[in-house]
Chain A
Amino acid sequence: MQHKVIDIKDVVIRFAGDSGDGMQLTGTLFADTSALYGNEISTFPDYPAEIRAPHGTISGVSGFQVHIGSEGVNTPGDFCDVLVAMNPAALKANVKWAKPTATIIIDTDTFDEQGLKKAGFTTDDPITELHIEDRNVICAQITSLTKESLKDSGLDPKSIVRSKNMFTLGMCFFMFNRPLEYINAYLEKKFSKKPHLIEPNKKVLFDGYNYASNIHAIANTYEVAPAKQEKGIYRNINGNQATAWGLIAAAEKSGLQLFCGSYPITPATAILEELAIHKNLNVKTMQAEDEIAGICTAIGAAYAGDFAVTSTSGPGLSLKSEALGLAMITELPLVVIDVQRSGPSTGIPTKTEQTDLAQALYGRNGECPVCIVAAHSPSNCFDAAFNAGKLALEHMMPVILMSEGFIANGSEPWKIPSMADFPAIKPPFIESCEGGFKPFERDPETFVRKWAVPGKKGLNHRVGGLEKNPAGVISSDPENHARMVAARAEKIARVAECIPEQKVIGAAEGDVLVVGWGGTFGHLFTAVNELAAEGHKVSLAHFDYINPLPKNTAEIFAKFKKIIVCELNSGQFADYLRARLPQFSYLQYNKVQGQPFIVKEVVDAIREIL
């Protein structure tokens, strides 16, 4: 067979296996080495809720999709060019994500009677049963080959079998002409604390590489050239890590200690974990006894003068609702991060959705608006967290930062910024005052109150959940209550003066304005670009600031014939826009499947209204 190296712009690879097969690691390694090579990347981990779901079953299948390319990689890709399936269940669950032209690699050692039965196959020929006879299916005895490769490694049998993911990775490296020096250096660094694992990992990976080269079943290998990137230092970053770092950055810029009180919850836990590592950067973390204690310890820390944050996901935000109201009425700075997941209730906890927006907007008792910002990509979580911190600290208010599982776990290369390029954060501290401190006296421009931190002489005051007058004295006077409710709302409305104007991607006027927010950016951007390239007058307005809305929003909307709001819920942002800007009519494209958009479906939806 003639072997050809074909240059391609981008390629999508999906690694799928049992949740114990190390597919997340395999995918991450492939992504990291591709990023080191200079490709653009975008990743999408798609894993089950159970740590070790029943072995070999569909429910236990864990997937990791990597999109690499030399340009235009904005999403992890809709469908894959290569599917690696480590067992029958992985094949069955993921074949729908494979392009008709895809190459499929399977570990035939796992395709025995028992494995096929567990995956729900009714015949002993899964290829025919799945109607993929015409695909390029590469059947490799990956488990046996791995055992053979490592028989003299000194590793125990369990560790040897576990290394089959590295064999597979080696095969993929061959297919995509990945330079092996990157993986060599990478493995040496990764296992620097377990040096006895370096050589076995290298060996099994190279054996996989050579195996793929020798079997001649892979007709073509592919070259994905490095991207033309801006000069600078780069790293890979996922959304949760970027969020944690953005918070640390805001603490540094404000000169305050960062306090994080949180309770573990998927998919937000990694934020608390990441912050817990960086105690050297003036960070205190507390794993609280529950979600409520998470936010309440943070509120206490805010009262004491810290930059306080609490991270959670939808069900945790529900539990924090009452305390969030307390932070709002006491006008203390606080960032609440909601890494959204599929709901309601426990829902599908490892899957992504944008279904908490209504909760964030309205989910509290009383008149209780809060500022809401959203992150739109893994690396953008850094800026979004920084901005959320700046707004909270300078406006003395809680801010909800909306993230979502898709960008929280997904990763992409990030050109590392310099902190010198970020603005200062100046909280409205008060050092002293004459005649007694009045906690709810406001700046006439911004409506922001002063922050008097315990320990400051002469500023003793009381705050609390009861309605107060501007002097801080409890008041149930009807007129005072009305004034305080209006003032607190006005304070948030005036944040619009401090946030950037909304940008339009594409022409400033046209036939269709696609409106989105949060982690759908990559898909919507790609869809709009595709249609614009065909000559359609389609633009995108993707919102990072939800409450308040940027002040030019109506101006933008007025310049398009149709507006379509695309979101991973049943229309929560659309409903909000209808309430805020009722002069426009809004079409919707929604998906509530616990899965991100597919570019094609968005393109089709827009095409339908063109």
Chain B
Amino acid sequence: MKYTAQDFKSNQEVRWCPGCGDHAVLAALQRALPQVSEDLGYELEKFVVVSGIGCSSRLPYYMNTYGFHSIHGRATAISTGIKVANPELCVWQACGDGDALAIGGNHFIHAIRRNVDLNIVLFNNQIYGLTKGQYSPTSKFGTITKTSPYGTVENPFTPGMLVLGAHGTFFARGIDNDLALNQSIFITAAKHKGTSVCEMLTNCVIFNDGAHAAFAARENRAEHTITLRDGQKMLFGANNDKGLILKDGKLAVAKIGEDGVTLDDILTHHTDSDDIGLQSMLIDMKYPDMPVALGVIRDVKDKTYDINVQDQVNDVTAKAKVHCVDDLLRSGSTWEVK
């Protein structure tokens, strides 16, 4: 490979809190990009990393690439402009749950709707960290924070459901410190043509420590999460003997060998299936009733906005009779004064 993870590290001191989940996500990204470069032929200077405002949005400073640390919520719009202007760039975006889903919610859903070829890394720690601990649009109902001293009285978003609602073409989920899985998610996301949303369940050690721990802590992970892999059975558990089946139109957990369930009864995961119903059930599985789905859940093909825009420009240009501004000024109704 031409590059190593080291090539993607800037000389800036990383200033996240010790123990913050963002460190591991950054490391997974820096490890994934040499492979992305190798597989897709991007030189280092073709990578652009964009962010909004928030703890995770400091990420561009830590990447030795072109970078743009913008304003709160607007990263998705800025990334879109960059990619539409130059579709040959490999555009990555770091954003938090408050940044992308509250103040930037509008840009987030519209980028997904348009299917702009962006790789969005959504750091979801269910809290506002940089402003020191207020609830976010993904905080669980009842979460006690500085702005909800008696607990929140509003339901959270499930980010993947927003992606599906906008008919997004790619959604994956990972736990911050699972570097191997996240690295493979990022590589798959980069190869995906369209808006790739990679939700990283990150832990904020200061303001929301253990928000995901019930299923994400290493000791709970085997029993309470399921890592979905394309073409493989939906199996999980410490002994890999539990799986997902469809029962009465809903997903259910079954144990192989119990109640006559065999491996054949277990569903097989297809990331490229356009079965948005099944994918939404997978994305919406919640602890403690169901295992939380990880890995690439949806990866379907569709045209991308940036290429559609470019194709239309090419198409109109090929057919046009006006080729320069002098032509334009003299087009249509004119008259001569002699």
- Contacting residues, chain B, for A358 (C-beta < 8 A): none
- Contacting residues, chain A, for B325 (C-beta < 8 A): 245, 248-249, 252, 281, 419
Contact of B78 among A279, A300, A454 (CB under 8 A): A300
Are B337 and A456 neighbours in the complex by a CB distance under 8 Å? no
- Contacting residues, chain B, for A234 (C-beta < 8 A): 334-337
Is B303 an interface residue, CB under 8 A from the partner? no
- Contacting residues, chain B, for A72 (C-beta < 8 A): none
What mask results when residues 548 to 577 of chain A are scored 1 for a CB within 8 Å of chain B, else 0? Answer: 000000000000000000000000000000
Is B61 an interface residue, CB under 8 A from the partner? yes
Measured in the bound complex, the distance between the Cα atoms of B61 and A483 in whole Å is 22
Is B131 an interface residue, CB under 8 A from the partner? no
Is B68 an interface residue, CB under 8 A from the partner? yes
Are B334 and A261 neighbours in the complex by a CB distance under 8 Å? no
Are A454 and B45 neighbours in the complex by a CB distance under 8 Å? yes
- Contacting residues, chain B, for A282 (C-beta < 8 A): 313
Is A462 an interface residue, CB under 8 A from the partner? yes
Contact of B337 among A231, A280, A299, A419 (CB under 8 A): A231
Minimum distance in angstroms from A301 CB to a CB of chain B? 4
Minimum distance in angstroms from B83 CB to a CB of chain A? 8
Minimum distance in angstroms from A594 CB to a CB of chain B? 31
Is A259 an interface residue, CB under 8 A from the partner? yes
Are A279 and B313 neighbours in the complex by a CB distance under 8 Å? yes
Contact of A464 among B48, B70, B81, B88 (CB under 8 A): B70
Are B324 and A458 neighbours in the complex by a CB distance under 8 Å? no
- Contacting residues, chain B, for A230 (C-beta < 8 A): 337
Minimum distance in angstroms from B334 CB to a CB of chain A? 4
Residue among A282, A300, A306, A464 with most chain B CB within 10 A: A300
Task: Tell me which residues from 101 to 133 in chain B have a Cβ below 8 Å from any Cβ of chain A.
Answer: 106-107, 110
Is B317 an interface residue, CB under 8 A from the partner? yes
Measured in the bound complex, the distance between the Cα atoms of B15 and A466 in whole Å is 15
Are B107 and A462 neighbours in the complex by a CB distance under 8 Å? no
Is A38 an interface residue, CB under 8 A from the partner? yes
Is A322 an interface residue, CB under 8 A from the partner? yes
What mask results when residues 80 to 102 of chain B are scored 1 for a CB within 8 Å of chain A, else 0? Answer: 11111110110000000000000
Task: Tell me which residues from 301 to 338 in chain B have a Cβ below 8 Å from any Cβ of chain A.
Answer: 309-310, 312-313, 316-317, 319-320, 322-326, 328-330, 332-338
The residue in chain A whose Cβ has the minimal distance to the Cβ of B337 is A229
Are B82 and A301 neighbours in the complex by a CB distance under 8 Å? yes
Measured in the bound complex, the distance between the Cα atoms of B323 and A232 in whole Å is 21
Minimum distance in angstroms from B307 CB to a CB of chain A? 12
Known: A284-B313, A419-B324, A464-B69. A306 touches B45 (CB 8 A): no
Is A469 an interface residue, CB under 8 A from the partner? no
Are B312 and A279 neighbours in the complex by a CB distance under 8 Å? yes
Measured in the bound complex, the distance between the Cα atoms of B324 and A330 in whole Å is 32
Are B82 and A281 neighbours in the complex by a CB distance under 8 Å? no
Task: Tell me which residues from 188 to 210 in chain B have a Cβ below 8 Å from any Cβ of chain A.
Answer: none
Are B68 and A286 neighbours in the complex by a CB distance under 8 Å? no
- Contacting residues, chain A, for B12 (C-beta < 8 A): 473
Known: A460-B44, A474-B61. A303 touches B68 (CB 8 A): yes
Are B67 and A463 neighbours in the complex by a CB distance under 8 Å? yes
Are B81 and A305 neighbours in the complex by a CB distance under 8 Å? no
- Contacting residues, chain B, for A286 (C-beta < 8 A): 80-81, 84, 309
Are B45 and A459 neighbours in the complex by a CB distance under 8 Å? yes
Known: A284-B84, A293-B106, A297-B81. A233 touches B74 (CB 8 A): no
Is A546 an interface residue, CB under 8 A from the partner? no
- Contacting residues, chain A, for B316 (C-beta < 8 A): 279-280
- Contacting residues, chain A, for B50 (C-beta < 8 A): 300
Measured in the bound complex, the distance between the Cα atoms of B321 and A278 in whole Å is 11
Known: A293-B110, A297-B81, A326-B70. A458 touches B45 (CB 8 A): yes
Known: A232-B337, A235-B329, A305-B85. A454 touches B61 (CB 8 A): no
Minimum distance in angstroms from B168 CB to a CB of chain A? 15
Known: A289-B106, A322-B71, A454-B48. A308 touches B65 (CB 8 A): no
- Contacting residues, chain A, for B141 (C-beta < 8 A): none
Is A416 an interface residue, CB under 8 A from the partner? yes
The residue in chain A whose Cβ has the minimal distance to the Cβ of B318 is A280
Interface residues on A, range: 35 or more
Known: A230-B337, A280-B322, A462-B60. A304 touches B85 (CB 8 A): yes
Is B66 an interface residue, CB under 8 A from the partner? yes
Are B324 and A252 neighbours in the complex by a CB distance under 8 Å? yes
Known: A280-B323, A304-B81. A289 touches B110 (CB 8 A): yes
- Contacting residues, chain A, for B78 (C-beta < 8 A): 296-297, 299-300, 303
Measured in the bound complex, the distance between the Cα atoms of B239 and A301 in whole Å is 51
Minimum distance in angstroms from B246 CB to a CB of chain A? 36
Measured in the bound complex, the distance between the Cα atoms of B330 and A41 in whole Å is 19
Known: A326-B71, A458-B45. A279 touches B334 (CB 8 A): no
- Contacting residues, chain B, for A461 (C-beta < 8 A): 66-67
Are B60 and A464 neighbours in the complex by a CB distance under 8 Å? yes
Is B79 an interface residue, CB under 8 A from the partner? yes
Are A323 and B74 neighbours in the complex by a CB distance under 8 Å? yes
Is A457 an interface residue, CB under 8 A from the partner? yes
Is A270 an interface residue, CB under 8 A from the partner? no
Is B77 an interface residue, CB under 8 A from the partner? yes
Are B317 and A301 neighbours in the complex by a CB distance under 8 Å? no
What mask results when residues 286 to 319 of chain A are scored 1 for a CB within 8 Å of chain B, else 0? Answer: 1011101100111111111110100000000000
Task: Tell me which residues from 175 to 225 in chain B have a Cβ below 8 Å from any Cβ of chain A.
Answer: none
Minimum distance in angstroms from B113 CB to a CB of chain A? 9
What mask results when residues 229 to 270 of chain A are scored 1 for a CB within 8 Å of chain B, else 0? Answer: 111111110000000010011001000010101000000000
- Contacting residues, chain B, for A245 (C-beta < 8 A): 325, 328-329
- Contacting residues, chain B, for A283 (C-beta < 8 A): 313
Is B46 an interface residue, CB under 8 A from the partner? yes
Minimum distance in angstroms from B10 CB to a CB of chain A? 8
Known: A297-B77, A308-B81, A416-B334. A462 touches B45 (CB 8 A): no
Is B64 an interface residue, CB under 8 A from the partner? yes
Task: Tell me which residues from 166 to 188 in chain A have a Cβ below 8 Å from any Cβ of chain B.
Answer: 186
Are B84 and A301 neighbours in the complex by a CB distance under 8 Å? yes
Known: A289-B107, A455-B45, A460-B44. A300 touches B68 (CB 8 A): yes
Are A233 and B330 neighbours in the complex by a CB distance under 8 Å? yes
Minimum distance in angstroms from B61 CB to a CB of chain A? 6
Measured in the bound complex, the distance between the Cα atoms of B79 and A296 in whole Å is 9
- Contacting residues, chain A, for B328 (C-beta < 8 A): 245, 248, 278, 281
Residue among B71, B88, B323 with most chain A CB within 10 A: B71
Measured in the bound complex, the distance between the Cα atoms of B107 and A461 in whole Å is 25
Are A456 and B70 neighbours in the complex by a CB distance under 8 Å? no
The residue in chain A whose Cβ has the minimal distance to the Cβ of B77 is A296
Contact of A300 among B45, B82, B326 (CB under 8 A): B82
Known: A259-B85, A308-B81. A290 touches B106 (CB 8 A): yes
Is A36 an interface residue, CB under 8 A from the partner? yes
- Contacting residues, chain B, for A463 (C-beta < 8 A): 67-69
The residue in chain B whose Cβ has the minimal distance to the Cβ of A289 is B110
Is A189 an interface residue, CB under 8 A from the partner? yes
Is B241 an interface residue, CB under 8 A from the partner? no
Measured in the bound complex, the distance between the Cα atoms of B280 and A87 in whole Å is 58
Measured in the bound complex, the distance between the Cα atoms of B83 and A471 in whole Å is 26
Contact of B66 among A36, A189, A290, A460 (CB under 8 A): A460
Residue among A248, A283, A293, A457 with most chain B CB within 10 A: A293
Is A35 an interface residue, CB under 8 A from the partner? yes
The 9 closest A-B pairs by CB, nearest first: A300-B81, A464-B69, A280-B320, A296-B77, A297-B81, A462-B67, A301-B85, A304-B85, A300-B78
Between-chain CB contacts (< 8 Å), 22 pairs: A36-B333, A229-B337, A245-B325, A280-B322, A281-B322, A286-B84, A299-B70, A299-B81, A301-B84, A303-B82, A305-B86, A306-B86, A308-B81, A308-B85, A416-B329, A454-B66, A455-B86, A457-B44, A460-B65, A461-B66, A465-B70, A466-B69
Sample of 15 further A-B pairs with CB below 8 A, known A230-B337, A296-B74, A306-B86: A36-B333, A233-B330, A259-B81, A284-B310, A284-B313, A298-B81, A299-B78, A299-B81, A323-B74, A455-B88, A461-B67, A462-B69, A463-B69, A464-B60, A465-B70
